[in-house]
Amino acid sequence: MTPCRSASIERPIPKGTSAIRGWSESHRVRAQGGYLLVSVIAILGIVAVVSAALLGMTLTAMRISDSFRDNLDNTSAADSALEDVVHRLQRTATAAGQDCAGSTDLGGGHTNAYAETIDFPNGDSIEVIVDCETTVPFAPVRDITLVAYAGGSTAPNGKARIEITDEIGGLSRPGNELRICDWQLGQNIRAEVAAC
């Protein structure tokens, strides 16, 4: 007698087929295609977040770089303006006997000041106001403090204290000797300048 095959007997599943009738391996791949899509979207999201972070860091670095460049330009302009004013005070013969010779009232609290325009090789220019203060009444030695404000800054970009000797041996010699007592620029500016 031949044994009867019933539905409860398990048969091995041939390779390339599934336990569910009509499903093959190709169907299984298609059934998992949604997981692959979710994975690709997640990876694209991570790449987008990393790219946005890098772009943000780059823009921040550019802003910082521009700020440093502007500060450097203002400091350089203040230095040049201080040199110009010192040169004018020392070399102008009519400046002898006048501590802040040629200064004018520029308004905005700049009562004894010089307006300087500093031109850069790239074509840019910066306006600098140099305030002039005297510490003692006029004597044969002019004791002058200069404070430079570049590019409309309200904080000083440079300070200098100088002495100019206009006499030697009792004879008038305007600008005979220049002594630089203190010269401060940029972030090194202190509240007070050094005494001569």
Report pLDDT digits (tens) over 103-148.
888 888 888 899 999 998 888 999 999 999 987 666 788 889 999 9
Quickly state the pLDDT bin for 46 (edges 50, 70, 90).
very high
In the block, tokens 């510490």 appear at 135
Contact yes or no for 96/172 (Cβ under 8 A): yes
What's the pLDDT score for residue 35? Answer: 83
Residue 77 predicted with pLDDT over 90:
yes
In the block, tokens 């390779």 appear at 15
73 versus 15: the higher-pLDDT residue is 73
In the block, tokens 């006997």 appear at 97
- Range of lowest pLDDT (11-25, 26-40, 116-130, 142-156): 11-25
Tokens (6 digits) for 167: 């006499």
What are the tens digits of pLDDT across the range 165-192? 888 887 878 888 899 999 999 888 898 9
Residue 66 predicted with pLDDT over 60:
yes
Q: If you compute the radius of gyration of the chain from its CA atoms, what whole number of angstroms results? A: 40
What's the pLDDT score for residue 165? Answer: 87
Torsion sign (Cα): 62, 65, 69, 70 = positive
